[in-house]
């Protein structure tokens, strides 16, 4: 009997035939089973991912103009400062991400939130661009790095039977943050100053998010000492050093990295792409609604699909909608292309985030999952730092959008095929 099994299920087994248990199916129909298994940690994963939004590009980007004006930075200097902070945060995550395995969840959460809040405070009071750069390091490490890492790792670790659904629920934290944080920042900038937006962010993290996550993660010990994860999933646990010696890891990794790489490159240069294809900013803004709709729809469907097929079987297939979107971008014209292209991007984003968040737990077990995911998360952060620079360089060389799209489509197809062959011919078949 699993120690995560809800109390009323135990009662049902002992009291079969009584009039009381006939009410159980009604309760099971209202609340998904994986939420009954461990509702606190499911909600923790969701809110931890949402809190990472204070260190994500979609929040920082709305204040890019204000940063450049306040510190007299060129576009190149500002982009370099932000990319440098992102790369340094990746190195820090690689070094300290394994704390998710060694420390209790409340303790490591307090550290991550403290770093993120400190970064917000530093940016709000930065007297020069050097302090702004240090603030970028802290928010990228604490937000995009640790908080997102803790949310997805918790969902993958503590929900073995319903891992896909739990990771998908955690993934809903991203759209929530995307919907709330940028408009909130713009609202404050219009009425006060950009510094107040960061001060408000630190207050929200310390006064609201910290107590909430502390409550949701209470009494959760360090994973290496937690009997709840010593199940069949942990029979073949691998350490990070063992994973690094596995050739299959390097064949699967591109499939988990290509989605954030391509999305970051496209979104960072979205205005240049729109101008090249003759789209107005109004058309582009409307297309983002399609992206959000595709992302949310995919998150709703991805959990059950991953739980039914397994993350390993699902991951290669998740790249196909994005492949079609890039081919469409290369060969078709017209304003209708913008909407369909963005919808397909959103579908891959939702499915790939769910399958990619669960695949390492399936392949390498749970005990060292934090260490392994911190490695892949750090590589992902580096990839998202390189993507805008590389695509900008190619655009400056005069390479047309159609050619860039086909190059990225070819990369997607290659990553999908590598992952498919590796996962389906491996002895660790999932």
- The 10s digit of each residue's pLDDT in 316-375 is 999 999 999 999 999 888 888 888 998 999 899 989 988 888 888 888 887 788 888 888
Q: Measure Cα distances from 23 to 13, 26, 258 in Å.
A: 14, 6, 47
pLDDT tens-digit map of 54-95: 998 878 877 877 888 899 888 778 878 888 898 899 899 888
Residue 170 has pLDDT above 80, yes or no: yes
Residue 7 has pLDDT above 50, yes or no: no
Name the domain boundary from 210, 229, 248. Answer: 229
Lowest mean pLDDT among 283-287, 295-299, 393-397: 283-287
Per the listing, tokens 């469907």 go with 301
Lowest mean pLDDT among 113-127, 152-166, 311-325, 407-421: 152-166
Closest CA to 312 of 257, 353, 252, 262: 252
DSSP string over 386-425: HHHHHHHHHHHTT--HHHHHHHHHHHHHHHHHHHHHHHHH
Same domain (yes/no): 183, 257? no
Same domain (yes/no): 223, 296? no
Name the domain boundary from 176, 196, 229. Answer: 229
| 5 found inside a domain | no
Domain coverage including residue 175 = 38-229
Helices marked H in 278-334: 281-309, 311-318, 320-331
Residue 109 has pLDDT above 60, yes or no: yes
Same domain (yes/no): 366, 251? yes
Name the domain boundary from 229, 259, 283. Answer: 229
| 22 found inside a domain | no
Give me the pLDDT at residue 18, please: 40
DSSP string over 109-171: HHHHHHHHHHHHHHHHT-SSHHHHHHHHHHHIIIIIIIIHHHHHHHHHHH-STTHHHHHHHHH
Closest CA to 220 of 38, 8, 32: 38
Same domain (yes/no): 244, 208? no
Task: Please state the domain count of the chain.
Answer: 2
Per the listing, tokens 């739990």 go with 166
Same domain (yes/no): 148, 107? yes
Same domain (yes/no): 224, 255? no
CATH of the domain at 365: 1.20.1250.20
């Amino acid at each position: 009997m699993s120690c995560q099994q809800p109390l009323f299920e135990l009662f049902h087994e002992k009291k079969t035939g009584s009039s009381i248990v006939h009410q159980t199916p009604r309760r099971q129909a209202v609340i998904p089973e994986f939420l009954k298994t461990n509702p606190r940690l499911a909600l923790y994963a969701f809110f931890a991912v949402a809190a990472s939004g204070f260190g994500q590009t979609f929040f920082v980007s709305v204040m890019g103009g204000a940063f450049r004006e306040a510190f007299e930075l060129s576009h190149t200097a500002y982009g370099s400062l932000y990319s440098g902070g992102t790369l340094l945060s990746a190195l820090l995550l690689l070094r300290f991400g394994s704390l998710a395995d060694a420390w209790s969840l409340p303790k490591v959460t307090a550290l991550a939130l403290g770093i993120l809040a400190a970064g917000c405070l530093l940016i709000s009071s930065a007297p020069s661009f050097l302090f702004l750069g240090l603030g970028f390091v802290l928010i990228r490490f604490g937000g995009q790095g640790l908080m997102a890492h803790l949310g997805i790792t918790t969902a993958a670790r503590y929900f073995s039977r319903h891992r896909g659904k739990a990771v998908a629920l955690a993934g809903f934290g991203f759209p929530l943050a995307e919907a709330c944080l940028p408009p909130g920042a713009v609202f404050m900038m219009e009425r006060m100053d950009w510094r107040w937006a960061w001060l408000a962010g630190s207050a929200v993290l310390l006064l609201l998010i910290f107590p909430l996550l502390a409550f949701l993660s209470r009494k959760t010990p360090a994973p290496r000492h937690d009997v709840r994860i010593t199940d069949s999933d942990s029979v073949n646990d691998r350490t990070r050093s063992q994973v690094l010696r596995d050739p299959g890891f390097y064949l699967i990794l591109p499939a988990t990295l290509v989605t954030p790489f391509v999305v970051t490159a496209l979104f960072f240069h979205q205005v240049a792409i729109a101008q090249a294809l003759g789209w107005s900013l109004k058309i582009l803004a409307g297309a983002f609604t399609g992206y959000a709709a595709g992302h949310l729809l995919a998150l709703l469907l991805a959990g059950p699909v991953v739980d039914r097929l397994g993350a390993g079987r699902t991951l290669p297939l998740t790249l196909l909608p994005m492949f079609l979107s890039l081919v469409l971008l290369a060969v078709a014209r017209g304003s209708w292309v913008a909407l369909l292209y963005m919808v397909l991007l959103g579908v891959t984003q939702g499915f790939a985030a769910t399958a990619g968040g669960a695949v390492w737990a399936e392949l390498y077990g749970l005990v060292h999952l934090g260490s392994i995911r911190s490695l892949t998360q750090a590589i992902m952060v580096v990839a998202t730092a390189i993507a805008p620079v590389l695509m900008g360089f190619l655009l400056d060389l005069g390479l047309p959008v159609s050619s860039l799209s086909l190059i990225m489509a070819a990369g997607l197809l290659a990553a999908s095929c590598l992952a498919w062959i590796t996962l389906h011919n491996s002895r660790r078949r999932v």
